[in-house]
Structure 1
Amino acid sequence: MMKTGIIGLGFIGPAHMEALLRTGLSQIVAVADTNEQLARSCAAKFNVPEVYSDYRQLLQNPEINVVHICTPNYLHYEIAKAALEAGKHVVCEKPLAICSKQAEELMRLAEEKGLTGVTSFNLRYYPLVQQAREMVQTGKLGRLYAYHGSYLQDWLLYDTDYSWRLDSKVSGPSRAVADIGSHWFDMACFITGSRVTELCADLSTFLPVRKKSRTQCLTFQTPQSANDPMEYEEIAIDTEDFATILFRMENGIRGSLTISQVSAGRKNFLQFEADGAESALSWNSEQPNRLWIGHRDQCNEEMIKDPGLLQGQARKFASYPGGHAEGFPDTSKQLLEQVYSYLAEDGRRHGIKPQFPTFADGWQEARLCEAILESSQQRRWVQL
């Protein structure tokens, strides 16, 4: 059995741990976080024997085969490079790095070392997203004309909402696009089998100054009202709240995307529609077990997630019968099950091409984010 170490224990680290335990394919033997109290609490909850306050100590543990990086963005490159040099396979949260040069270096280093690098684009693992890919790839929609949609959230709607993701020194030069737009574009490329070739973007920061609590972090929480006693410091914001993007893909596909972290009532709304010459389909992450299928000359359809109805490879990504909902936590389980099965079978040595998102996908998304920033700043179309 593989042995795993988890670095970073905020929101997403424990999600990785829970998902990995559900696969039964690896034992988590160590965790690391600069907040030692948090690390010990998390280790106790998941029955993990080793706890470190410095990730370098974890990388020295000879038992560990795979390292998961769940830290703030600016640390991804540093830790991933050190992990690869220590001979560990790496599962890294997106973005892989805060610039494409770093992401490319990690991609090439993993190849040189003969190690597997995974970028955690887990949202492509919803069963009906897999079904959408099968339908597009097998021609059920006919020639694909357009792909469009949005990714909307409201957790940064108020000026008292604050998180490390708002600090560009920690999160990188892009926020909404790199954080949630990267998932949307990864899903678009996965479903269509095409890359973005050209784009035109408009980014906006509606709240150029935010109020950071001096006493607590309010990420994903409802802030106290202005009448409640709390001390704030004003912080200038230089990353985007909102983005609109026109893009062109291979095979002549046209597309558009709206990204927002200030859309009231939208908690985590990733939505797409694919329009083909014969039919269309649409899906959103807040109703992940329903896939809309549109027709011109007959009644529209709605497919409910049921492994008995799914096509081809999509069927294996539904773990429960029809009527038994599968959601966000299941996507990480499905991703890690695919990754760890590949590692257990020594897929790289046998020349098997990974079916999961690799460091190459992380590099492509880093290039895409840079092109979006360039387009918005220069107010022009940019080619990739």
Structure 2
Amino acid sequence: MRKIKAAILGAGFIGQAHIEAVRRLSFVEVVAIAQSGQDKAEQSAKLLNVPKAYGNYMDLLKDPEIDVIHNCTPNYLHYEINKQILLHGKHLLSEKPLTLTSEEAKELYHLAKEKNLVSGINFNYRQFPMVQHLRGMVRDNELGDIRIVRGNYLQDWLLYDTDYNWRLEPEYGGKTRAIGDIGSHLFDLTQYVTGMKITEVMADTAIMIPQRYKPLKEKQTFQNGGKENASLVDVSTEDYCSVLVKFDNGARGVFTVSQVSAGSKNALVLNIDGSVASGTWKQEEPFRLTIRYRDKPSETVLRDPGLVKKEVLPFLHYPGGHEEGWTESLKNMMQNFYDAVEGKMTHSDSVASFAEGYQIMLIIDAIVKSAKTGTWEKVESIS
């Protein structure tokens, strides 16, 4: 049986993670990689044991062998590259955000609808087994009517003024940083698990470190920096945001995102408060759910094939106690995406669509506007 041929654009932290995850699928082969410049592409291809190297992604798009392309480039390149991938008739899995603006996201959403191709966005936190179980509990009304949703996504990789990355620069990362980079995951996860839509927001943002030391030589994401061989530059994107939200069913919520919270490495937490019970999932402890009640003791549900809902079983692969984490969530993403490419199943709702990516950009627009006006702002509907 012919294997599906995949190519990766960008070989940084997330590009390498995509390659590792795809290689765990028996019916897909990573055959090409593209970087900015032929020498850089060849170095990455050799390091990652990928047969073909392209210094220009447009040349890669003309390769008839390639069926699927993963766009793992920096944010500012997403729109044009995603557009070209679809126009060249390749299936597409894009890193988030889909684009830097809602106008660009709208265009890609309509283009993806026009093309008979599989397309998706890597909001991989949907793919954790216990996220799927919590979603099932909400759907089956085991928490009751959802009244309040509380969430946070905290990191510390930008805690010091010597920490720097291209994501700090709006021309490369976008007009928001903490909101767009990690807040997008939180907003997507909330809507996916609850089935509710964010319709109105009131936000507060802050730049905690107004100046940082930018290294003369670029570093990878999460690498430590220093003051030597660096210049002091102004920062214009937020380190922190808290936002109050209203949902389409009348529920309320509050979310905080930060990239300067010491000791928080990847602290994504989702709390759902219903009329019967509350549920909490923590990404740094992904194998458990905590369910709390008023009139009886709290429960802990562990990631175990015998304890989770039947529909969760495809998302877990090992017995209880053999823990699965972030890398498995990415592997699940690839499995569900490539099953659709191969035609084994329709597009799984666990893979975020371009419509959902567009909607996240509209939420971000409303948050940015609210932070400026200091008032409640409505989230525009998809058009």
Task: Choose the corresponding residue for 1:257, options 255, 258, 265.
Answer: 255
**Contact 1:308-1:315 within 8 A present in 2 as well:** no
- Structure 1 letter corresponding to 2:230: Y
Paired position in structure 2 for 1:358: 353
Paired position in structure 1 for 2:84: 82
Task: Choose the corresponding residue for 2:343, options 331, 342, 345.
Answer: 345
Matched, 1:332 2:330: yes
Give the direction of change, closer, same or farther, for the CA distance of 1:148–1:345 in structure 2 (3 Å limit).
same
**Contact 1:77-1:97 within 8 A present in 2 as well:** yes
Whole-Å Cα distance in 1 between the matches of residues 223 and 53 of structure 2?
28
Gapped regions of structure 2 (runs ≥ 5): none
- Structure 1 letter corresponding to 2:138: V
Gapped regions of structure 1 (runs ≥ 5): none
Please report how far the alpha carbon of residue 231 of structure 1 lies from its aligned counterpart in structure 2 after TM superposition. Answer: 2.6
Give the direction of change, closer, same or farther, for the CA distance of 1:214–1:355 in structure 2 (3 Å limit).
closer
Paired position in structure 2 for 1:245: 243
Please report how far the alpha carbon of residue 312 of structure 1 lies from its aligned counterpart in structure 2 after TM superposition. Answer: 3.1
Matched, 1:270 2:272: no
Paired position in structure 2 for 1:383: 378
Task: Choose the corresponding residue for 1:49, options 48, 51, 54.
Answer: 51
Please report how far the alpha carbon of residue 219 of structure 1 lies from its aligned counterpart in structure 2 after TM superposition. Answer: 3.7
Alignment of 1:1-384 (within 5 A): 1-34=3-36, 36-215=38-217, 217=219, 219-224=221-226, 230-345=228-343, 354-384=349-379
Q: Which deviates more from structure 2 when the two are superposed, residues 45-54 or residues 72-81? A: 45-54
Whole-Å Cα distance in 2 between the matches of residues 70 and 155 of structure 1?
20
> When the two structures are superposed, what TM-score results if normalisation uses the length of structure 2?
0.95
Whole-Å Cα distance in 2 between the matches of residues 45 and 290 of structure 1?
36
**Contact 1:199-1:372 within 8 A present in 2 as well:** yes
Sequence identity, in percent? 42
Whole-Å Cα distance in 2 between the matches of residues 35 and 257 of structure 1?
40
- Structure 1 letter corresponding to 2:100: I
- Structure 2 letter corresponding to 1:326: E
Give the 3-state SS of the residue equivalent to 1:201 in structure 2: strand
Whole-Å Cα distance in 2 between the matches of residues 341 and 367 of structure 1?
29
Whole-Å Cα distance in 2 between the matches of residues 346 and 64 of structure 1?
19
Whole-Å Cα distance in 1 between the matches of residues 181 and 225 of structure 2?
21
Give the 3-state SS of the residue equivalent to 2:8 in structure 1: strand
Please report how far the alpha carbon of residue 41 of structure 1 lies from its aligned counterpart in structure 2 after TM superposition. Answer: 3.8
Q: Deviations over 1:196-229 (max 9, x none)?
A: 01110011111111111224527413334x6xxx
Give the 3-state SS of the residue equivalent to 2:24 in structure 1: helix
Give the 3-state SS of the residue equivalent to 1:243 in structure 2: strand
Whole-Å Cα distance in 1 between the matches of residues 110 and 345 of structure 2?
18
Q: Deviations over 1:311-364 (max 9, x none)?
A: 13222101111001111111111011001101111756xxx6754211111101
> When the two structures are superposed, what TM-score results if normalisation uses the length of structure 1?
0.95
Alignment size in residue pairs = 377
- Structure 2 letter corresponding to 1:323: G
Please report how far the alpha carbon of residue 49 of structure 1 lies from its aligned counterpart in structure 2 after TM superposition. Answer: 1.2
Q: Deviations over 1:276-303 (max 9, x none)?
A: 1111110111111111110111111111
Whole-Å Cα distance in 1 between the matches of residues 251 and 115 of structure 2?
37
Whole-Å Cα distance in 1 between the matches of residues 204 and 349 of structure 2?
34
- Structure 1 letter corresponding to 2:336: Q
